Structure 1
Amino acid sequence: MKNYITVSKIGILLLCAGLMSACSNNNTTAQSETTSSELTSSQSGAASGVQLASAKLSDLVTFDEEDSTTAWTADQSTDISLAGTSAVVAGAGAESKDGSVTITAAGTYVLSGKLNDGQVIVNNQDEGTVRLVLNGVNITDSDSAAIYIKEAGKVIITLEDGTENSVSDGETYVYADDTTDEPSAAIFSKADLTINGTGKLSVSANYNDGITSKDDLKIMGGTIEVKAADDGIVGKDLVAIQDGSISIKAEGDGIKSTNDTETDKGFIAIAAGTFDIKAGNDGIQAETSLVIDGGTYTVVTGGGSVNGEVKTGEQGAGMGMRGDRGQGTGVQAPGTSETPPAGTMPETPTQETSTTTTTTTTTTTTTESETASTKGLKAGGDISINNGTFTIDSADDAVHSDSNVALADGELHIQSGDDGVHADSLVAISGGMIDITKSYEGIEGANIAISGGETNVVSSDDGVNVAGGNDEATVGGGPQEQDQFSEAAANVLTISGGTLTVDATGDGLDSNGSIVMSGGTVIVNGPTNGGNGSLDYDGSFEQSGGTLMAAGSSGMAQAPSDTSSQHAISMTFPQTQKAGTLVHLEDSEGNTILTFAPSKDYQSVVISSPELKDSGSYTLYSGGTSSGSETNGLYTDGEYTGGTKVVAFEITSNVTWLNESGVTTANTNQGPGGGGGKGRP
């Protein structure tokens, strides 16, 4: 009997947290529980007011007692001694013939020795459990799987403590006829397969996959090293990993599930372990859900972020919203990725298809080209990361979901050739530490909700992007559209807690809907080009709490909406200020409101703090030094000295616009919420 429950019943819960007014503004009553599969693009406005509660491994799968059992006794097992081209069987249930060993009955079989060019076959018709104890074996088959499980109720491979075991296959397989394509892995199972124990298993898959189960695949522990011509570890219905040390070098995907026809299957759930994955395609790829509760992960895909695809479109030429991409002059401008196109990767089952159209004066030719998917963590359904330490260097998105992403805890260190974190629906960050040191866009989703944690983003285009529209990548000489979102007006960036620091070449915070901020600390550095802004939104930016510091160019400068309940100021300097030049704001009694050192050149500064009061008098200084403690450019405590007074002013409205002469009028770029980008060229 299967030991997993329906994925749709435990999918990421969407819980209305009262973080913002978007629920009521959209006339939507959020249900207390909604599965991720029910979240459609038309409902994305409702999602903007919710948080994601992560699923856990225990929600998806349970482990039987026999999955963990590694003990065995000689008097209750069959001994199989491999001896080159033959084997000696001592006990019942197995026979050696023509260089291969066939097991036909349930029971425990202890294998040792070397099989030069043969196969261990499990063909148990009574559907019982077969346990294979690998007690120091070396099995090689030149034209098929080294271990082939044709039929059994369940097979458990135990890696005996202190032993080293290896299996390998040849570069070509010989099948009975042209209609047969199984087995297709060095270890291939058509039944549920569990691997346990504390020994070591090395798999060299020269033909196709390393370890494949056409049913459930569970790994309880051990040291497993896989080198594969295609995918490393594959479980059709599920891959569940309790623990272990797993190293994979795969031309295709590292770890994957493949069932795309049953919604309660095709998932990957990992509790713990150490993972070192180098994959030509995706690192860990789940057809439905991906749940990670802990572990340490080093993942490199597609040769790393240096192989990210060249992006074109909105690149600081005054284009503004991502929906405008592809309308530029074609000249590379700030924000354009300078990395070369990815090299040709081998074709694998995991492909993303793009269409290239070439037009001449007389004909139009359309050709189909396939590019490999090279994402770090990828799921067709929800991704839940509850803990763990991740170092991801990916040619494409580092974390990518076709549905929702919930990041609750852990550490993620990301270098990406495209997005750092991407969700077609909702990205929810409630804890942990996310450090994106390289990306095209840092965090992207139809909706984004940040309620906790520490998030740092460096991007060559937008830092945080909600409902981004069309991303355009140059692939095979023509454009490829990606990341298309619908109904951008209903989408929202919600910030209610945590710390967010953005270093962007494009827009810092970019919402093609609205922004709502009720808590947390947000620091934005950049852009330096006048065609982008530190803040960029279409609808409104309602701020009721938290601390906001945004420094960048002045050409497209925006501030929170004048309907916000918390005060903000927007200062435009007469000349560009050098990176590191302090901005200091204090009240009429000399109390520090904020001291900040932007990490990039800037001409516009937006500050919003709960300390800003109506009718209060304030003075803005530039330069000088601070003896306080600095984090991400923001100083706390200490004494500010040596600065130059720029302007003194009084707050008489929710948003105060300033230049060196004092209070002035709002920028002409204001939209319906008092700061939208509707006036962009």
Structure 2
Amino acid sequence: MKKHIITLALAIAGLAVMAQEKMYIHKADHFTLGALVTSTDSIYFSNDQSTILFSIGDTLDSYAVSEIDSITFGANSTIISIFYEGNYVRVINPLAYEGVSVSTDGANVTVTSTSQIQDIGYRLSGSTHGGSFKIYSQQPFELMLNGVQITNTNGPAINIQSGNTVTVDIMNGTTNALTDGGSYSNPAKAPDGKSEDQKGAFFSETTLIFTGTGNLTINGLGSAKHGLCSDSNIEINGCSINIASAAKDGIHAKTGFEMINGSLNITATGDAIDGDAGNVTITGGNITTLNDADDVKGITCDGTMSISGGVLMLTVNGDQSKAMKSESDITISGGSITIITTGDAVLEASGSGFDPSYCTAIKCDANINISGGSIDIISTGIAGKGISSDADITIANGTITITCSGNGARYTNTEGAYDAYVSTCITSDGNTLINGGNITTSSSGSGGKSISVDGTLNIENSNSPPVINLTTTGNRIYISGSGENAEYAEAKTVKSDGDIVIESGNITLNSADDGLKSETSITISTSIINITNSVEGIEAPFININSGEITIKSSDDCINTTFGLGGEQNDGSIMTFNGGFVAVNTTGGDGLDANGNIVINGGTIVVHGPPNAPEVGMDYNGSCNMNGGFLAVSGPNSNMLQAPSNSSTQNCLKAVTYSGLSASTLFHIQDASGVNILTFQPLRTYYSVIFSSSELLTGSTYSIYTGGSCNGTINNGLYTGGTYSGGTFRKSFTINNRITSVNF
């Protein structure tokens, strides 16, 4: 009778709380279980009143009366709250009778959810130094870290064994920490008999999406384990995550990684961020990484890597490590990227010698495309690389600054021959296209280069020409041979095995060796090129200058066409001028040196020849046909002096003085009416001037003056406009032949 009275009383009480959706059973073991009021059939005691029974839906649960603290009624909720309190936990589970089961072993929590309810949340709070959180669920859910610190000395702090997307909310204003153990216990068995994965301090089988504005620190201590790991995707869209350590990767996402917002700070023994077989996409947020170990990566993936925003600060200190590495294309269209590398290249045994493996800031096995953003790279290790592609590089926009200071060295290559491995700021095994942007590089190590291309190099874009400033200052590296046959690795600013085509750009080169070097051809149009220092300014078998403004200072030949065969024979190389303004200044070589032929069809060419013989202002082994344009060449006292060939179609003058004229002494030619034909101011003492212009007319008489002054506009020693006065008359001459020689 008493049992029925209690049941009736409870039923009456239930009527008073029907406005409340849920009944909460508060148990003495720190569990609170929720049940829908509408699903609760009855509550009654056993005959001896020691047990209370709950008939809820199809479930009949019984508890000792001593296990129940109280029963309350309240609003419905889909959030399971778990409070870690040292060695035990308190659990509020509103869905206990709707498919969500929570069990504990000390502070180790296991959730099994078969519920079909959408948007279930699990909120973790408190602290434990010997606990964990593990969940099995096939529905999407939200994991809320609400000021929780979990240390699991035997495995992952959090282990998500689920098959659907999990949103991890690092709750506003909270600080959270997850730490795993140095060694893991044997994993549990999945229903198929296979061992469950437990690959890191925070591990998930499914996609993780991080949100919120709180802070999360992950201490990855597990041997050969990651800090944060998913066997699917990882997306960061808020919060601040600090991965203070990881024995392997800081973040490992098996099918891809995406950064949208928030901040990451990662220190890892392995890779900092590994997108594994998937893609890496970064559109915003802040990423800071530090890798000290050898042969690791800052950010890497097998798929494509795309960066369109965000701030990245990547540091790699290990030998042959890479700050950014992809096996597919890398695309950079925005953001700010700063990379510091200090690691050295490593010689790996291969074939009959070795194959260098480099420490590289940005390394791609496929194509690199840069169309925006800011990239700042500092490389200090031996033979360090800035941007390197096994295929093509395209730079359309953005600001790129690269400094490489590591020395190169000689080694034995895979064919058993001596070779050199050197630092290079930008290098591609395929082609390189630069059609925009602002590029500044500096390579100071021995043999170091600014741009090196195995294929063709194209620089173009008439609407927004690229601005390029390249510097090399390193010494050359001896490789093999002796005398004229000695081979060196030299610190060139631009080197290409294929064609170099420059159709637009503002380019400044300061080179410890060649400024522009191609094994095939160089073509220049509509560009401003200033080679402020070089050994040889421009060198290739075929050089074509169509337009633009080019100034060169060199210690050897300023412009040299050659197949590299040596000797005085015509090797078939050709130097062609069709237009533009070219001014060259050599302190120890030839101004124009063609081992083959020179063809001048147009343009203005000013040559400040060397101070001493046997070098001259212009030297060719074949012919020099002056068919148009304007040519002024000063030179030393040399019996190697050459004027253009008699096969030219435009008249030329070869003027030689018996005594040298001091530097800056004007050389002036005017016609019989006193009209200025040439006013030229060589940079150093000169004994000869080679001159050709369409204004040298057959049958006309001209006068030579030296000294004096001119108030016209001077450009690299050549005056235009103004009035010449005060000079000393030296000699008159009449043009009767294609080449007129005058001594004075």
If the TM-score is normalised by the length of the shorter chain, which range does it land in? 0.5 to 0.7
Matches within 5 A, 1:106-145: 106=233, 108-110=235-237, 112-118=240-246, 119-124=249-254, 130-133=257-260, 135-141=262-268, 143-145=269-271
Taking structure 1 as reference, are residues 148 and 486 closer, same or farther at Cα in structure 2, changes over 3 Å only? farther
Separation of aligned partners in 1, 2:569 and 2:314: 48
Taking structure 1 as reference, are residues 188 and 155 closer, same or farther at Cα in structure 2, changes over 3 Å only? closer
> Does the 8 Å CA contact 1:468/1:485 hold for their aligned counterparts?
no
TM-score when normalising by structure 2: 0.62
Separation of aligned partners in 2, 1:116 and 1:494: 61
Taking structure 1 as reference, are residues 244 and 621 closer, same or farther at Cα in structure 2, changes over 3 Å only? same
Which residue does 2:328 correspond to in 1? 215
Could you tell me which of 442, 457, 471 is aligned with 1:393? Answer: 471
- Unpaired segments ≥5 residues, structure 2: 1-143, 145-164, 171-175, 181-200, 210-217, 344-358, 407-422, 475-490
Taking structure 1 as reference, are residues 486 and 236 closer, same or farther at Cα in structure 2, changes over 3 Å only? farther
Letter of the aligned partner of 1:377 in structure 2?
I
Which residue does 1:521 correspond to in 2? 604
Could you tell me which of 592, 595, 599 is aligned with 2:683? Answer: 599
Matches within 5 A, 1:462-477: 462-467=557-562, 469=564
More strand by share: 2
Could you tell me which of 637, 640, 648 is aligned with 2:724? Answer: 640
Cα offset, 1:468, TM superposition: 5.7
Cα offset, 1:591, TM superposition: 1.1
Which residue does 2:432 correspond to in 1? 290
Letter of the aligned partner of 2:277 in structure 1?
E
Instruction: Indicate the SS of the match to 1:533.
Output: coil
Which residue does 1:242 correspond to in 2? 371
Separation of aligned partners in 1, 2:696 and 2:374: 53
> Does the 8 Å CA contact 2:701/2:733 hold for their aligned counterparts?
yes
> Does the 8 Å CA contact 1:77/1:109 hold for their aligned counterparts?
no
Separation of aligned partners in 2, 1:468 and 1:624: 44
| Structure 1 residue 563 corresponds to structure 2 residue 705 | no
Measured against aligned partners, the alpha-carbon deviations of 1:78-121 in whole angstroms (never above 9, x if no partner) come to 44758464777999514998562123335744363211012344
| Structure 1 residue 186 corresponds to structure 2 residue 298 | yes
Separation of aligned partners in 1, 2:569 and 2:707: 44
> Does the 8 Å CA contact 1:85/1:115 hold for their aligned counterparts?
no
> Does the 8 Å CA contact 2:234/2:253 hold for their aligned counterparts?
no
| Structure 1 residue 418 corresponds to structure 2 residue 547 | no
Could you tell me which of 332, 336, 339 is aligned with 1:226? Answer: 339
Could you tell me which of 457, 479, 490 is aligned with 1:383? Answer: 457
Which residue does 1:585 correspond to in 2? 669
Separation of aligned partners in 2, 1:501 and 1:85: 67
Separation of aligned partners in 1, 2:234 and 2:305: 15
Cα offset, 1:487, TM superposition: 9.5
Could you tell me which of 93, 99, 109 is aligned with 2:207? Answer: 93
Which residue does 2:18 correspond to in 1? none
Instruction: Indicate the SS of the match to 1:455.
Output: strand
Which residue does 1:337 correspond to in 2? none
Whose Rg is larger?
2
| Structure 1 residue 196 corresponds to structure 2 residue 278 | no
- Unpaired segments ≥5 residues, structure 1: 1-73, 174-183, 260-265, 304-341, 343-372, 471-483, 661-681
TM-score when normalising by structure 1: 0.67
Separation of aligned partners in 1, 2:230 and 2:261: 14
> Does the 8 Å CA contact 1:236/1:258 hold for their aligned counterparts?
yes
Could you tell me which of 288, 303, 308 is aligned with 1:166? Answer: 288
Separation of aligned partners in 2, 1:440 and 1:293: 27
> Does the 8 Å CA contact 1:257/1:267 hold for their aligned counterparts?
no
Q: How many residues align?
A: 481
Separation of aligned partners in 1, 2:169 and 2:583: 60
Taking structure 1 as reference, are residues 488 and 234 closer, same or farther at Cα in structure 2, changes over 3 Å only? farther
| Structure 1 residue 146 corresponds to structure 2 residue 272 | yes
Instruction: Indicate the SS of the match to 2:579.
Output: coil
| Structure 1 residue 501 corresponds to structure 2 residue 580 | no
Taking structure 1 as reference, are residues 464 and 409 closer, same or farther at Cα in structure 2, changes over 3 Å only? same
Separation of aligned partners in 2, 1:226 and 1:627: 52
Measured against aligned partners, the alpha-carbon deviations of 1:492-523 in whole angstroms (never above 9, x if no partner) come to 10000111100012001000000000110000
> Does the 8 Å CA contact 2:208/2:234 hold for their aligned counterparts?
no
Which residue does 1:353 correspond to in 2? none
Separation of aligned partners in 2, 1:80 and 1:241: 34
Instruction: Indicate the SS of the match to 2:300.
Output: strand
Separation of aligned partners in 2, 1:91 and 1:243: 36
Taking structure 1 as reference, are residues 635 and 605 closer, same or farther at Cα in structure 2, changes over 3 Å only? same
Which residue does 1:310 correspond to in 2? none
Measured against aligned partners, the alpha-carbon deviations of 1:375-412 in whole angstroms (never above 9, x if no partner) come to 11110000111131122111311111001111111211
Cα offset, 1:77, TM superposition: 8.2
Instruction: Indicate the SS of the match to 1:220.
Output: strand
Cα offset, 1:638, TM superposition: 1.2
Separation of aligned partners in 2, 1:486 and 1:571: 25
Which residue does 1:299 correspond to in 2? 441
Instruction: Indicate the SS of the match to 2:571.
Output: helix
Which residue does 2:743 correspond to in 1? 659
> Does the 8 Å CA contact 1:238/1:257 hold for their aligned counterparts?
no
Taking structure 1 as reference, are residues 585 and 300 closer, same or farther at Cα in structure 2, changes over 3 Å only? same
Separation of aligned partners in 1, 2:568 and 2:335: 46
Letter of the aligned partner of 1:159 in structure 2?
G
Separation of aligned partners in 1, 2:429 and 2:501: 17
Identity %: 31
Separation of aligned partners in 2, 1:437 and 1:258: 29
> Does the 8 Å CA contact 2:591/2:610 hold for their aligned counterparts?
yes
The RMSD of aligned alpha carbons is 2.6
Could you tell me which of 378, 397, 400 is aligned with 1:272? Answer: 397
Could you tell me which of 531, 536, 550 is aligned with 1:436? Answer: 531
Measured against aligned partners, the alpha-carbon deviations of 1:296-318 in whole angstroms (never above 9, x if no partner) come to 12201134xxxxxxxxxxxxxxx
Letter of the aligned partner of 2:471 in structure 1?
D
Which residue does 1:672 correspond to in 2? none
Which residue does 2:72 correspond to in 1? none
Which residue does 1:24 correspond to in 2? none
